[in-house]
Amino acid sequence: MAQEDSESASIKEIYKSYLSIDPTHFSTFSSLINNVIYKDNDNSFSLQHKLFYGILASSAIGSNALLEHFKKKFILYGGDTSWIDEGIKNESIPRRIKVFAKMNDILVHKPWILFWAHFAEFDNGMTFFLFQSAIILTTIHRFATIISAMNVLIKEDIKNNLINLDINLIENKQDENIKNLYIINPVEYTDFNQHSEKFLFTDDFDWNTNAKYFFSDYAEKEMEFLEKELKSLDNIPFDTKDENNIFTKKKEIEKYLGLIFGLKDRDYDYHKTNEIIPKQIKVIIKKIACFPDKFQEENLDDLKLDKNNLIRLIFLVTAIKQKICLTFFAKAFDDFSSNKNKFNNSHNNETNSED
């Protein structure tokens, strides 16, 4: 029991450290986490299924602390322990969760490879489940990334005796055998190849013009909390004269992250990004977005960013990445809807030829 209390305390300390920076956004972020992840509601998901998503998602990120947290919560709320012991191969796990779990690692590491055929395994009438799942899973990815990236700050506070926590609870590396239980078709992050892979251009499909309306239609409750949180993040006040305030660079950070994950404006100027975002900050941005489990190895003295701006950057990067991942998800579904008849005809022809 003491260990569970310490794990909960480590998450509360992370919350607490951000609260003093912008209480309004902290309130909307807490509401997003509590309602999208922890609330048992009457739509497609029981709380047990959400908590199992928590196990899958935190495992994909490599957040050992959050993985253990979700395991304990899953058991506490009556989850089948065989799901934890046997992982995603357990026969009693609903098929739709197993099928969606195939997108877990893709959404974390390579959202640009999502395409319409990924939706072909789902039955008709599962659209609401798909979009709700996408918001739940990417919100947990974001939560796990924040926990992992903030560990560097928590460890520093432990070292300086500012908080009293067991450091082993937050810095343990995940056992690969454990991760393999919860990941189907593991996908490792590799850089988007600008020469052989196609960009998704924002004038063809982007979050504000296209993707968010899919989620508003098919995941209305979840989207309501996400929209409020994203707007709150956009509205955090900052001093335009303070060049060190990370929000003065928000637009370029968004463009840079889009470039990393294969989403960009046609007239994007990378030289402008280099002028606005220092190289050291770009390195940090990429590590938070792509390797959050390795970010905890950083030395704060080498980051050249004060604590408040580092926390702002972590929250900002994870929010932008979530929008990018959901944009690719919505685009792939839109393509699936357009190709559905073609796919069904092809599938029927294959079935007939086998007969």
pLDDT in tens, 88-119: 889 999 999 998 998 998 999 999 999 888 89
188-247 pLDDT tens trace: 788 888 888 899 999 999 999 999 999 999 999 999 999 999 999 888 776 556 666 787
pLDDT (0 to 100) of residue 43: 59
User: Which of the pair, 88 or 160, is modelled with greater confidence?
Assistant: 88
Q: What is the DSSP letter of 38?
A: S
How many folded domains does the chain comprise? Answer: 1
**Residue 285 contacts residue 256 (beta carbons within 8 Å):** yes
Answer whether residue 248 shows pLDDT above 60: yes
Range of the domain at 168: 2-354
User: Which of the pair, 288 or 181, is modelled with greater confidence?
Assistant: 288
pLDDT (0 to 100) of residue 22: 77
Which residues does residue 264 pair with via DSSP β-bridges, in sequence order? 201
Q: Where do the H-state alpha helices sit in the chain?
A: 2-19, 23-36, 47-61, 64-76, 81-86, 95-101, 104-109, 127-159, 168-171, 176-182, 212-218, 220-234, 250-260, 270-276, 279-290, 292-295, 300-303, 307-354
pLDDT (0 to 100) of residue 179: 61
322-353 pLDDT tens trace: 999 999 999 999 999 888 766 555 544 544 44
pLDDT (0 to 100) of residue 13: 60
d(CA 354, CA 337): 26
Answer whether residue 255 shows pLDDT above 90: yes
Q: Is 338 exposed, middle or buried (0-12, 13-18, 19+ CB in 10 A)?
A: exposed
Helix then strand then coil, in percent of the chain rounded to 5, is: 70, 0, 30
Could you give the 3-state DSSP secondary structure of residue 121?
coil
**Residue 233 contacts residue 260 (beta carbons within 8 Å):** no
Answer whether residue 169 shows pLDDT above 80: no
Answer whether residue 130 shows pLDDT above 90: yes
Q: What is the DSSP letter of 201?
A: E
Average pLDDT score, the chain: 82
Q: Computed from CA positions of residues 249, 250, 256, 257, in that sequence, does the dihedral angle turn out positive or negative?
A: positive
The predicted model scores a pTM of 0.88
**% of the chain exceeding 90 in pLDDT:** 42
